A and B are shown apart, each in its own frame.
Chain A
Amino acid sequence: MEMILALAIGVLTGSGVWLLMRPRSFQVIIGLCLLAYGVNLFIFSMGRLYVGAAPIMPKGGFVDPAAYADPLPQALVLTAIVISFATTALFLVVMIASRGTTGTDHVDGKEREQ
């Protein structure tokens, strides 16, 4: 389980980083999305992995924390999901506006000089 998730985080991060450094704006936006998945999973995994132990408790009283999933990384990732949606939306609009005004989808607004 841990091995698989770690590999998944690695693949997502690697693809995201590669796309981040590409010259076309759409590549960068997809890269950001992939990177966001990778980072979210990474933050999430900081609380270790629990199978079948949701952070929902019975009503009342004290509980034994060991029996539940760590809620803190989950709360952090929830925020991160929202923020990455917001940045994607913002970047998307900048991207199509830049395509309109510069006439190219290169991230610098002009093709590289050969």
Chain B
Amino acid sequence: MVEQNLLLLLVLTPFVSAALAATLPVGSRNAETWLAGLTMAVVLGVLAVLYPAVDEGGTITSKLEWASSVGLDLSFRMDGFSWLFMVLVAGIGMLVLVYARYYMAADDPVPRLYSCLLAFAGAMSGLLLSGNIIMLVVFWELTSIVSFLLIGYWYHRQDARDGARMALIVTATGGLCLMVAMILIGQIVGSYQLEDVLAAGPQITGHRLYPVVLILFLLGAFTKSAQFPFHFWLPNAMAAPTPVSSYLHSATMVKAGVFLLLRFQPALGGTDAWFQIVTGAGMITMLLGAFVALFKHDLKGLLAYSTISHLGLITALAGIGTPLAIIAAVFHIVNHAVFKASLFMAAGIIDHETGTRDMRRLSGLAHAMPVTATLAIIASAAMAGVPLLNGFLSKEMFFEATYVWNNGSPLDNWAPYIAVLAASFSAAYSLRFIVTVFFGPKATDLPHEPHEPPALMRLPVFVLVAACLAVGIAPQATLGNWLTSAGMAILGPDLPHFSLKLWHGVNPALIMSLIATGLGVIIYLLPRRWIDRGEEGLRITRALEFARFFETGLQFATVTLPRRMLRRISATGLQGQLRVMVLMGMAAAYFALGPLDWNITLPEISSRELVFALLWLIGGACALAAAWQAKYHRFAALILTGGVGLVTCTTFVWLSAPDLAVTQLLVEIATTALLLLGLRWLPKRDEEIAGDNNFTSRFRRFRDLMIAVTCGLGMTAIALAILLTRPGSSVGDWFLRHSYVEGGGTNVVNVILVDFRAFDTFGEIAVLAIVGLTVYALLRRFRPALESVERPRPQVEAEEQALEAYLFIPAVLMQWLFAPIIALAAYLFFRGHDLPGGGFAAGVTFALGLLLQYVASNVRWVEARLTILPVRWMATGLIVAASVGLGSWIFGAPFLTTHYQYLELPWIGKVPASTAMLFDVGVFSLVVGAIVLMLIAIAHQSLRVAPRSRPTESEEQS
């Protein structure tokens, strides 16, 4: 059990530390380093404790139930392979974090860097330890996102932004492909658990969807591990700070792809397609990367292409897939991580101390920084594959794998030659790195005078180089056991014997190695002057600039194509769009209802309905007149709309909907007040609109009129058809039966709103809150129309008269009315559960009471006497409503379950007491806040001083 929990700890600790690191102050490089370093130390400690459990092919699994019904559980799993990878992540992570302390400048925002690096460590741990393949993809994408953030760390730089975007698009798209592949695998196997998938190899490879799965899976792995033709993002990711390049883009994250290839080799590998694609891509990448690296003048560019090449080597080994090739791949993952991380750090030191990474300018640094030079030379010798260093051993194993294995295909026959050629280029660029940077005449025109860095900045490089030497000299003693358990984790217990030794005698691999090294020296030394000074690469590699293709494609897909499509299919203005929407609605209604038969007999209008008919005669006339007048006579249109609202309200009363009538009436008042306040800022419409009466305008109006008439007739027909059909059984019956028994209220509408469907109401008040805040935010930077800036005539006249005379009697009346209105609000609120009313109606009433005060007196008078903080009302409302909902969790009931009972109060009698009423308090408070916020935000605009009349500062002073 302890082990299971430790496994969770491995994933969670870095994330917790990342959150902590993000909160530290900007200048705290030391505190950040301690925090991050300790985190990594904890992870390493846990790994040390867990090693016995994963030794000799053991695994640890831990599982948290999550969404088991869809096959999703938080399950973690660690075996020898992921353990070894975790050691790399935590170990190199720790060294990089120490190194970053000295690499970053004091004014860099380090909390962001450390936080992201720690989050990356967490995401990577999650990726390595996921026992569920969907979760694995989630962590996979998480590493892409963190990588994006880290590449774009210096986001003021164009190249950093571009590189970050490119990396994210390539790797995240690959991740999506991977997700589809994983879902398909899960469907084929019938389980998303890694264990089951790994055990179901034949089932997957024999399935008819295997080619699709394989391609999608490899897209994911190749994009992450920068394999041809997706390699181009990695060099562009070098815009990141060097610690990031060293950690993510050489040692760990880019290895996630090959990790996945090796991990799933038992499940997906072993087929001819696997071999051809994976080995082929790996070989091409290896050769191409090594070739391009030779010509790079930028230190980090050279190392980036070298990383691509080495990743290609590991991919090729995964493709070959024999047990020894797998062991060699794991071995090379470790070796490459160690020497490349140290080389990146050395490059960072050189950049840091000299101010440039350009190899055409750097020269003779061995004099100025002898220790760093020695370390870097040893590390690049490991990269070149020189004996006594770790790179030599895994390269030997690679040669052996390409040479020994034989399936007779052309690729297999060519593999040894490609391997030797790539290795010779590798030797050549390593040699070039050593010779140009550290030897030769001392450079004179460097931005800084070069000198040794602080000892602690060198320490991580030293540790890694020491590891290179230790593994290179005594491989069995240092890595033997770990490699055995990693190999067992991938291949199962019957691992063939392999020996990690420096000297195997004279065998083909050694001869290949000697040829490669010798050839490498010749390749570099012969055309040396041309390589060192010339252009970066040959014409053909420059022409095949994949990053440029990518940018062009991206530009086309995200800018050119959408614009072209927009021009082609978009309507020109809002009117056209709305017209299309209306027409589509009509078409939908036509196709849905067209097949139905019309067998409705139209009823006679009886004399008892005369009043109702008269009512709607007025209502209809108001609506038509509002439509007629809205263009030039806005005030009239507004009043007429209000008339329609009142008729609607009366209809609700007539047709047994008292709650609706109350609400409609109150909202009508609020809407009218709001629109009146808004009209103040809408200058009078000039009656002359150019071209308003020409033929096209008339035609447009006529066409819209036809559409509107059709809409109206259609709605009449539909409504009539429904009203004259006998109703089936309604859900409403259920609510009527259960409202009192289960909700404890007799007003069914209110019980539905605050009890049965309280979650909908919760959403609705949230919408209201959002709208309130949006209105407020929009009005904060409000610039009124120039014509309406002047104060309106009544206000100006009122100032000329005595202030008290302005609306004196109405003002007194409205002040007296304040208390009764508040009482009315309370009344509406408390009776809501049993009789028409409720939190919403009470809230609007309360808000209107406040608004009346604003109307009666001026804003300053009110605010001197009454402090309203609408935003707090809204916040209180939301919190109350939400906590009532959450409260039911305490009793083990779902969100917003209510409880009610009737309380016997002295003097008053039986009173309903329900948690739904508390919820209603939340609704009330929020409605008050939102409406007051909107109305007051608009009303407050009258306080603004017209810009032209505002006295300037100089005038005030004089």
Mark A residues whose CB is within 8 Å of B.
Answer: 1-24, 26-27, 29-31, 33-34, 37-38, 40-42, 44-63, 65, 68-75, 77-79, 81-83, 85-90, 92-97, 99-101, 103, 105, 107-108, 111-112, 114
Contact = CB atoms under 8 A, between A and B. Distances in A.
Contacts of B578: 20-21
B732 A15 contact: no
A55 B624 CA distance: 33
22 contacts: A9-B719, A19-B630, A21-B575, A21-B579, A22-B631, A23-B575, A26-B630, A42-B718, A45-B722, A47-B727, A47-B730, A56-B658, A56-B747, A57-B748, A70-B730, A71-B735, A78-B663, A79-B760, A85-B667, A89-B771, A99-B681, A99-B784
Most buried by B among A63, A88, A100, A105: A100
Contact of B582 (A4, A21, A26, A111): A21
B6 interface: no
A12 to B, nearest CB: 5
B641 A30 contact: yes
Contact of B719 (A5, A19, A56, A85): A5
Given A8-B619, A21-B704, A69-B656, A59 B740 contact: yes
Nearest to A89: B934
Contacts of A45: 719, 722-723
Interface centre among B712, B720, B786, B834 (most CB of A within 10 A): B712
B515 interface: no
Interface stretch (B278-286, B473-481, B643-651): B643-651
A22 B504 CA distance: 88
A78 B735 contact: no
B708 A54 contact: no
Given A47-B730, A101-B783, A21 B707 contact: yes
A58 B609 CA distance: 29
B735 A107 contact: no
B573 A20 contact: no
Interface stretch (B349-357, B447-455, B773-781, B859-867): B773-781
B122 to A, nearest CB: 41
Contacts of A10: 712-716, 719
Interface in B637-680: 637-638, 641, 644-645, 648, 651-652, 654-660, 663-664, 667, 670-671, 674-675, 678
B775 A90 contact: yes
Contacts of B835: 56
Contacts of B720: 2-3, 6
Nearest to B602: A3
B782 interface: yes
Contacts of A73: 732
B603 interface: yes
B685 A89 contact: no
A6 B725 CA distance: 13
B169 to A, nearest CB: 34
Question: Interface centre among B655, B674, B760, by most A CB within 10 Å?
Answer: B655
Nearest to A67: B736
B440 interface: no
Given A6-B723, A19-B627, A26-B630, A75 B768 contact: no
A23 B577 CA distance: 12
Contact of B685 (A24, A61, A95): A24
Interface in B752-803: 752-753, 757, 760-761, 764, 767-768, 771, 774-775, 778-779, 782-786
Given A52-B656, A96-B782, A60 B630 contact: no
Contacts of B903: none
B806 interface: no
Contact of B834 (A26, A56, A93): A56
Given A12-B644, A42-B715, A2 B656 contact: no
A107 B757 contact: no
A93 B678 contact: yes
Q: Which of A24, A61, A85, A111 has the most CB of B within 10 A?
A: A85
Contact of B764 (A82, A107, A111): A82
B840 to A, nearest CB: 7
B782 A97 contact: yes
Contacts of B786: 103
B626 interface: yes
B748 A55 contact: yes
Given A71-B732, A96-B782, A11 B723 contact: no
A7 B616 CA distance: 9
Interface of B: 573-575, 578-579, 582, 602-603, 605, 609, 612-613, 616, 619-620, 623-624, 626-627, 630-631, 634, 637-638, 641, 644-645, 648, 651-652, 654-660, 663-664, 667, 670-671, 674-675, 678, 681-683, 685, 690-691, 704-705, 707-709, 711-720, 722-724, 727, 730-733, 735-737, 739-741, 746-749, 752-753, 757, 760-761, 764, 767-768, 771, 774-775, 778-779, 782-786, 834-836, 840, 930, 934, 938
Nearest to B774: A90
Contacts of A96: 678, 681-682, 782, 784-785
A41 B730 CA distance: 18
B53 to A, nearest CB: 57
A6 B733 contact: no
B678 A95 contact: yes
Given A18-B704, A34-B623, A44-B652, A65 B771 contact: no
B678 A30 contact: no
A37 B619 CA distance: 11
A44 B704 CA distance: 27
A59 B712 contact: no
Contact of A51 (B656, B719, B736): B656
Nearest to A88: B671
B644 A65 contact: no
B627 A18 contact: yes
Contacts of A50: 655-656
A11 to B, nearest CB: 4
A46 to B, nearest CB: 6
A23 B655 CA distance: 36
Contacts of B730: 47, 65, 70, 72
Nearest to B730: A70
B249 to A, nearest CB: 46
A85 B843 CA distance: 14
A30 B632 CA distance: 13
B125 to A, nearest CB: 46
Contact of A107 (B575, B727, B771): B575
A62 to B, nearest CB: 6
Contacts of B771: 86-87, 89-90
